[in-house]
Amino acid sequence: MSFNTFGQLFRVTTWGESHGPAIGCVVDGCPPGIELSEADIQPFLDKRRPGQSRFTTQRQEPDQVKILSGVYEGRTTGTPISLLIENTDQRSKDYANIAERYRPGHADVAYDMKYGHRDPRGGGRSSARETAMRVAAGAIARKVLGAEVVIRGAMTALGAHGIDRANWDWAQVDENPFFCPDARAAEAWKTELDAIRKAGSSIGAVLEVVAEGVKPGLGAPLYGKLDADIAAALMSINAVKAVEIGDGFAAAALRGEENADEMRMENGKIKFLSNHAGGILGGIATGQPIVARFAVKPTSSILIPKHSVSADGEEVEVITKGRHDPCVGIRAVPVGEAMLACVLADHMLRHRGQVGN
Amino acid sequence: MSFNTFGQLFRVTTWGESHGPAIGCVVDGCPPGIELSEADIQPFLDKRRPGQSRFTTQRQEPDQVKILSGVYEGRTTGTPISLLIENTDQRSKDYANIAERYRPGHADVAYDMKYGHRDPRGGGRSSARETAMRVAAGAIARKVLGAEVVIRGAMTALGAHGIDRANWDWAQVDENPFFCPDARAAEAWKTELDAIRKAGSSIGAVLEVVAEGVKPGLGAPLYGKLDADIAAALMSINAVKAVEIGDGFAAAALRGEENADEMRMENGKIKFLSNHAGGILGGIATGQPIVARFAVKPTSSILIPKHSVSADGEEVEVITKGRHDPCVGIRAVPVGEAMLACVLADHMLRHRGQVGN
Amino acid sequence: MSFNTFGQLFRVTTWGESHGPAIGCVVDGCPPGIELSEADIQPFLDKRRPGQSRFTTQRQEPDQVKILSGVYEGRTTGTPISLLIENTDQRSKDYANIAERYRPGHADVAYDMKYGHRDPRGGGRSSARETAMRVAAGAIARKVLGAEVVIRGAMTALGAHGIDRANWDWAQVDENPFFCPDARAAEAWKTELDAIRKAGSSIGAVLEVVAEGVKPGLGAPLYGKLDADIAAALMSINAVKAVEIGDGFAAAALRGEENADEMRMENGKIKFLSNHAGGILGGIATGQPIVARFAVKPTSSILIPKHSVSADGEEVEVITKGRHDPCVGIRAVPVGEAMLACVLADHMLRHRGQVGN
Amino acid sequence: MSFNTFGQLFRVTTWGESHGPAIGCVVDGCPPGIELSEADIQPFLDKRRPGQSRFTTQRQEPDQVKILSGVYEGRTTGTPISLLIENTDQRSKDYANIAERYRPGHADVAYDMKYGHRDPRGGGRSSARETAMRVAAGAIARKVLGAEVVIRGAMTALGAHGIDRANWDWAQVDENPFFCPDARAAEAWKTELDAIRKAGSSIGAVLEVVAEGVKPGLGAPLYGKLDADIAAALMSINAVKAVEIGDGFAAAALRGEENADEMRMENGKIKFLSNHAGGILGGIATGQPIVARFAVKPTSSILIPKHSVSADGEEVEVITKGRHDPCVGIRAVPVGEAMLACVLADHMLRHRGQVGN
């Protein structure tokens, strides 16, 4: 049992607080002989890195990852891989009054309810800063999965404003600050988010992650279901409140004949004619693209005053100054991809343990 | 690691196929000294039992549970509790051709992709019959949680037809065959589902489960999040495709000031003024009602012919005769309650292990 | 985490009390497609079965195992295998006063210290009767390992009276009631144990289990060590107080040059010239025979009066009537073999999950 | 499942190679609110530190531990505690030929059999250097257990030369370079080990660890046995080949009436009149001192030439130069204490999760 580890055979244990000396993780169970260096990890961290547009926090962190163990002469050895990122731009004074006043919608109050003692600097352990290590681990997971598995993510709604799926173009995702696959929607979002940011407010988002090339058979009934593990992995990301696979909630409105993904043969292999299931049946991958969506609530740290209480039980108003993302959903795109990669790498190894290669 | 166990300290391991001699489970980690007999479990099984209305499968199973271990003189001993239900109404011939032809939308094909060998009778291990043991384990979980925790569930949409939440009345849930809290909606659903059933079709559903009286502090960052575990637990139920906590997907459309659950003091305790969060912040329970919703896809076994392939790679049309629920979502209500109960019991014990009572 | 499960990928969960209606286990993680029937399991249970000579308890249990799930048309399906043995010869009245008076050396008092409530009939959960399910699971583990792995056990000392290792003959093990590989020692033990039995006393034993044909590479540093898992598995058997691998305690008295197992090449493979290590280096199997020994303390239930206390805190004398083994070590031979088989099957699957087949 | 983590609720994950930039560990599950600083950990590391006498390796490592997370204002927060020690005295050239030639008795060959790729510098991951992190984690475990639990260790035999238990004096343990409780034996050992060291040889040892003040009830049947977990923990230490609890192997030679620890009442509590069981019955602590002994084999790295093979399959002679302990058992004393502390802390938390405080 563990509170800070995810995965069973590909296991990632993260540690570190937003304003401590460093954050890090240990990746245990990575198979031996895989080529790995910091250069394989850094690009994914750079994608998640703060301070790259006016739509993310202005905290400046180079997020340079170091590999401290588990790699020898450029290849993994099968022993645990320790990754470390030093925290450099901690401005703890910004957060001085977080220690005293609970931010509505934030985990501050819940941590105190549980532990009675917490590191309030920048949200401490509950800060989204922890997700940097998920992204780093996800980069290793991609190496484990190999080049045939392609994992991509995109933001599909800013607040109530969704994309037009007819415009979906993966190439657009890297061309705007939202990881948005619809160029037109991205333009509109700039205006919308500027207004929200200037109002000291924040907004939620919907994200989608897709894995193509996943080997049929990964996953397992009944409590090792691939979709159950994806649901937990995405729900464990800060501020996520909902997860769906394939058609998700929309499947509830379908009739059986509409929802059934019909099959035909093609070149001696089963070919599905649709993908309502999002690539998973009975908890097991079918070889179709795995499709998951998740909802991120608006950032809790806002400049608009809200009723709250202090740790001492006094009724207060809270305004949260400091450097915050007006839409934390944006930077959750690489995090969602990373979590999907980690779940798939784990299930690839688990599948081997169950039925061999 | 495990494929057929859920929970960490309150652990439930289920076994059995739809048409084998029996199904069962082992509940390990139940604390000692709790009063327990079959009579505590049977009412929940009766609620899930098939054949009680024209809207569920006509298979007749008394589902009489036996306790084979772990209880002495009417109280639990702390040793594993073995539960067993004999299968009595197996009509395997109904399923003769399931072995050959994959039902679109069903797990048949995925099991063969993974294992190469499966028990096709009635869906074997992938049958919803397994959920009887979840319900039985959930009844024990309720005893562990104690009377102060109240867990209830309801069906809130049949297909695209949702309830009017203004009509919500928990007392109505036991008055109609849908566990529907809105009496008027329930009437309309009867007509709707009759038509679907007669057409040999099926339909999806949305369900909601609520836990009141949960102690603040249960759950944990970051991979022991209460909401992540609830998401996995609900997603692991047969045919579930989506899970949300609190406002769920709707939270994505909110501004920060709308989503924040403000706090005030009341009788020396923190009182929340709203519950967008669904009772969980940062993965930790706040003491508010825990609210989760999940979507169930339409039953895959339908009388309407669909394109498919056989295990031998031949292209075929599939019609599934036999006894099936036109809306599997209905009987998922007690299952969802049970999964929520199991997750909460597990986290109650885990919380003790982390921070004491 | 679990209190009644052993193994990680090949997982065995046992349940049941000595005098309840039945005992059983669930084997999860067994790969699909393996031929399996009750006939593969029963011979090992028969070997452990009580009442076969005057040197074991006179309780008469046919110990007929039933497979309730996980096997279809004679082959495993990859789903959990449920095994059940009914208890038939329960004479609980023999144990009436065990509920009141703690047997010195027995787990009674410890269970009450922990749980405050226990099933005292025949020792309840702490009875060696539970080991029948270990033996059953071990039979499945042997099938997973395949015919190339040969696992055998023997008793090498009755009390202080050890065998002459020069006389070791595996064929003798089935020719005497002690699983003794030294025919001469076995004869002497008959006289010795008869005297002990008639005196109402009991005696300890040393046992040895050996696995040949184990694939090099099984096991793992540092907390997944094969020898650490074997140590835990053997120490978890009732009444076991010590475990050693290879030379064990004797290795402490060696010089480095004596303990080193030298290597030479033979037919293109590494050949070890000795086996002080017992087939394991750094927690990893080298391909040599895996050799483990363990010590079983004397049966606690004896006819010789001993000082004790009652559950109510009264000072009493305890004599334990009923049917007991004068040397529980004897029947621990098939149990030790089974535990070694389970650990090896688990590590075979884990190895696949780490580095592939 | 995990290869580099030990413990269930008090979980320690170690990482790092002998000659990498650093070694470290993550301690997850430490309860909140415990006073903790580097000063609580350093003294135990100093005890294990190399280069303190002529009887341990001359490698000079200050082993200064840093806490990187999980502690705020001097108290634990319940979040993961990351510990790091930089490696400073790496002389990898000493080990140049280890990469090529397998040291008999060493894990080199087994790692290659398993992984095919390893870090050979100083033994890489299989180096006893990893045990520094066990000692650090053990220091935290002691804080979790509290001052009432006293854990001590001693060396009781150097090679075949055991102590006289009548001379046992805990105060002597810190007065000689062997952690020997018998001053007279320690003197003799100096002469003995000097001769061995000068001969370029090495020798094994027997160690004993004792925990006093352990709460009755810790542990659990049947696969969560306290003694099984202690056996695994001690066996997982480098070079350990045997473990025993209480009388251990000697118990096999006892009669039932000799082995039974009789009980009487004293001040309303149960008092045991002897401790053959080593404080554990049925896997559960009885409140008596917990006593475990373990055997450490002689250091594999010696100056005496031995037959071996190279990674390329050539037959070679191996002499291992470099800096090695002539008796690795000595420095295993603080490691054994630490492992016992970790197991007990874990079981204290598990016990809470099972039955409450």
Model pLDDT for residues C194-207, shown as the tens digit of each residue = 999 999 999 999 99
B223 near D CB under 8 A: no
Q: Which of B11, B76, B114 sits opposite C2 (nearest CB)?
A: B11
Residue D145 to chain B, least CA–CA distance (Å) = 13
Q: How many residues does chain A have?
A: 357
User: What one-character-per-residue DSSP string does A33-64 give?
Assistant: T-B--HHHHHHHHHHH-SSSSTTS--------
CA distances from A257 to A227, A254, B54, C81, D336 (A): 22, 8, 21, 35, 64
The β-bridge partners of A82 are A26
Query: Is C191 marked within a binding site?
Result: no
D281 near C CB under 8 A: yes
User: What one-character-per-residue DSSP string does D253-295 give?
Assistant: GSBHHHH---EEEETTEEEES--TTTTEETTEE-SSPEEEEEE
Beta strands (DSSP E) in C29-117 are 65-67, 71-72, 75-76, 81-86
Contact B354 D356 (CB under 8 A): no
Measured in degrees and rounded to the nearest 5, phi and psi for residue D280 equal: -135, 125
Contact D284 C229 (CB under 8 A): no
| B61-67 LR contacts (CB < 8 Å, sep 24+) | B61/B85, B61/B87, B61/B88, B61/B89, B61/B129, B62/B88, B63/B132, B64/B38, B65/B38, B65/B41, B65/B136, B66/B38, B66/C21, B67/B36, B67/B37, B67/B38, B67/B41
Which pLDDT tens digit goes with each residue over D228-287?
999 999 999 999 999 999 999 999 999 999 999 999 999 999 999 999 999 999 999 999
Q: Which of C5, C245, C255 sits opposite D223 (nearest CB)?
A: C5
Contact B355 D221 (CB under 8 A): no
Q: Which of A78, A355, A357 sits opposite C354 (nearest CB)?
A: A78
Contact C68 B16 (CB under 8 A): yes
B61 near C CB under 8 A: no
Instruction: Quote the pLDDT of residue A214.
Output: 98
Interface of C with D in 104-123 (CB under 8 A): 104-107, 109-111, 113-116
Name the residue among A98, A63, A60, A62 with its Cα closest to residue A83: A63
User: Vertex D11, ends A348 and B81: CA angle to 5°?
Assistant: 80
CA distances from A111 to A123, D36, D75, D175 (A): 10, 19, 15, 46
Instruction: Quote the pLDDT of residue A53.
Output: 80
Contact D232 C236 (CB under 8 A): no
Instruction: Quote the pLDDT of residue B96.
Output: 63
Query: Is C293 marked within a binding site?
Result: no
Cis status, amide bond into C222, omega within 30 of 0? yes
Q: Which helix (H) or strand (E) holds C141?
A: helix C131-145
Q: How many beta carbons lie within 10 A of that of residue B266, not counting itself?
A: 9
Instruction: Return the structure tokens found at C131.
Output: 């080991």
Instruction: Return the structure tokens found at B169.
Output: 């009345």
Instruction: Return the structure tokens found at D57.
Output: 């390796």
Which pLDDT tens digit goes with each residue over C112-152?
999 999 999 888 999 999 999 999 999 999 999 999 999 99
Q: Which of D5, D28, D118 sits opposite A77 (nearest CB)?
A: D118
Q: Chain D residues with CB inside 8 Å of B225's CB?
A: none
Assess contact for B24 and C100: CB atoms under 8 A. Answer: no
Q: Chain A residues with CB inside 8 Å of D79's CB?
A: 4, 15, 17, 119, 124-125
Which of D156, D161, D222 should one mutate to test binding to chain C, selecting the residue with the greatest count of C CBs within 10 A? D222
Cis status, amide bond into D222, omega within 30 of 0? yes
Contact B252 A1 (CB under 8 A): no
Angle, in degrees to the nearest 10, between helices B332-355 and D332-355: 140
Cis status, amide bond into A222, omega within 30 of 0? yes
Q: CA-CA distance, B28 to C28, in Å (whole number)?
A: 15
Q: Which residue of C has its CA nearest to B75?
A: C117
Q: Which residue of B has its CA nearest to C26?
A: B15
User: Vertex B91, ends B86 and B92: CA angle to 5°?
Assistant: 100
Q: CA-CA distance, A1 to A10, in Å (whole number)?
A: 15
Q: Which residues of C3-40 are buried (b: 16+ CB within 10 A; e: fewer)?
A: bbbbbbbbbbbbbbbbbbbbbbbbbbbbbbebebeeeb
Which pLDDT tens digit goes with each residue over C307-357?
999 999 999 999 988 767 899 999 999 999 999 999 999 999 999 999 987
Angle, in degrees to the nearest 10, between helices D131-145 and D332-355: 40
Assess contact for C330 and C155: CB atoms under 8 A. Answer: yes
Query: Is C37 marked within a binding site?
Result: no
Name the residue among A111, A102, A351 with its Cα closest to residue A219: A351
A13 near D CB under 8 A: yes
Would you give per-residue pLDDT tens digits along chain D (357 residues)?
A: 578 999 999 999 999 999 999 999 999 999 999 999 999 999 999 998 877 788 877 777 789 999 999 999 999 999 999 999 999 876 656 566 767 899 999 999 999 999 999 999 888 999 999 999 999 999 999 999 999 999 999 999 999 999 999 999 999 999 999 999 999 999 999 999 999 999 999 999 999 999 999 999 999 999 999 999 999 999 999 999 999 999 999 999 999 999 999 999 999 999 999 999 999 999 999 999 999 999 999 999 999 999 999 999 999 999 988 767 899 999 999 999 999 999 999 999 999 999 987
Residue C12 to chain B, least CA–CA distance (Å) = 10
Contact B5 C28 (CB under 8 A): yes
Which of A19, A75, A77, A130 should one mutate to test binding to chain D, selecting the residue with the greatest count of D CBs within 10 A? A77
User: Vertex A198, ends A196 and A199: CA angle to 5°?
Assistant: 65
Assess contact for A324 and A51: CB atoms under 8 A. Answer: no
The count of CB pairs under 8 A between chains B and C is 148
Q: CA-CA distance, C28 to C88, in Å (whole number)?
A: 27
Q: CA-CA distance, A110 to A98, in Å (whole number)?
A: 13
Q: What is the 3-state secondary structure (H, E, C) of A96-165?
A: HHHHCECCCCCCHHHHHHHHCCCCCHHHHHHCHHHHHHHHHHHHHHHHHHCCCCEEEEEEEEECCEECCH
DSSP B4: S
Q: Residue holding tokens 């595996």?
A: C170
Q: Chain C residues with CB inside 8 Å of D228's CB?
A: 231-233, 235-236
Q: CA-CA distance, D295 to D333, in Å (whole number)?
A: 11
Q: CA-CA distance, D355 to D357, in Å (whole number)?
A: 7
Contact B15 C70 (CB under 8 A): yes
| A53-56 LR contacts (CB < 8 Å, sep 24+) | A53/A177, A54/A194, A54/A197, A55/A177, A55/A178, A55/A193, A55/A197, A55/A325, A55/A326, A55/A327, A55/A330, A56/A177, A56/A325, A56/A330, A56/A331
Which pLDDT tens digit goes with each residue over C83-112?
999 998 776 565 667 778 999 999 999 999
What CATH number has the domain bearing residue A187? 3.60.150.10
Question: Does residue B121 sit in helix, strand or coil?
Answer: helix
Which of D241, D312, D325 should one mutate to test binding to chain C, selecting the residue with the greatest count of C CBs within 10 A? D241
The β-bridge partners of C292 are C209, C245
Query: Is C91 marked within a binding site?
Result: no
Q: How many residues does chain C have?
A: 357
CA distances from C213 to C153, C218, C289, C290 (A): 15, 12, 7, 9
Query: Is A323 marked within a binding site?
Result: yes
Contact A114 D22 (CB under 8 A): no
Residue B32 to chain C, least CA–CA distance (Å) = 6
Query: Is A2 marked within a binding site?
Result: no
Q: CA-CA distance, B346 to B137, in Å (whole number)?
A: 12
The residue-averaged pLDDT of B243-266 equals 98
pLDDT band at B27; cut points 50, 70, 90: very high
Instruction: Return the structure tokens found at B291.
Output: 């609210």
Domains held by chain D: number: 1
Instruction: Quote the pLDDT of residue A351.
Output: 96
Residue C40 to chain B, least CA–CA distance (Å) = 20
Q: CA-CA distance, B311 to D222, in Å (whole number)?
A: 43
Highest mean pLDDT of the ranges A87-91, B140-144, C58-62: B140-144
Which of C27, C112, C241 should one mutate to test binding to chain D, selecting the residue with the greatest count of D CBs within 10 A? C241
The count of CB pairs under 8 A between chains C and D is 394
Pairing of strands D284-285, D280-281: antiparallel
Assess contact for D274 and D264: CB atoms under 8 A. Answer: no
Query: Is D357 marked within a binding site?
Result: no
Residues whose CB falls within 8 Å of the CB of residue C51, separated by 6 or more in sequence, listed in order: C57, C58, C59, C60, C61
User: What one-character-per-residue DSSP string does B195-241 give?
Assistant: HHHHTT--B-EEEEEEEESPPTT-B-SSSS-HHHHHHHHHHTSTTEE
**Burial (CB count within 10 angstroms: exposed 0-12, middle 13-18, buried 19+), residue B315:** exposed
A17 near D CB under 8 A: yes
Contact D357 B353 (CB under 8 A): no
Q: CA-CA distance, A219 to B111, in Å (whole number)?
A: 10
Q: What is the ipTM of this complex?
A: 0.97
Contact D16 A82 (CB under 8 A): yes
**% of chain C exceeding 90 in pLDDT:** 88
Contact A244 B241 (CB under 8 A): yes
Ranges in chain A, pLDDT < 50: none
Contact B236 A251 (CB under 8 A): no
User: What one-character-per-residue DSSP string does D181-195 give?
Assistant: S-HHHHHHHHHHHHH
The β-bridge partners of A72 are A75
Instruction: Quote the pLDDT of residue C62.
Output: 87
User: Vertex D229, ends D223 and D232: CA angle to 5°?
Assistant: 115
Name the residue among A161, A147, A214, A219 with its Cα closest to residue A189: A161
Average model confidence (pLDDT) across chain C: 94
Q: Which residue of D has its CA nearest to C156?
A: D252
Which of B241, B293, B324 should one mutate to test binding to chain A, selecting the residue with the greatest count of A CBs within 10 A? B241
Which of C1, C18, C127, C352 should one mutate to test binding to chain B, selecting the residue with the greatest count of B CBs within 10 A? C1
Q: CA-CA distance, D229 to D238, in Å (whole number)?
A: 16
Q: Residue holding tokens 């495993």?
A: C76
Instruction: Quote the pLDDT of residue D92.
Output: 58
Beta strands (DSSP E) in C126-204 are 150-158, 161-162
- Parent domain of A187: 5-355
pLDDT band at B56; cut points 50, 70, 90: confident
pLDDT band at B217; cut points 50, 70, 90: very high
Instruction: Quote the pLDDT of residue D318.
Output: 94
Query: Is C43 marked within a binding site?
Result: no
D137 near A CB under 8 A: no
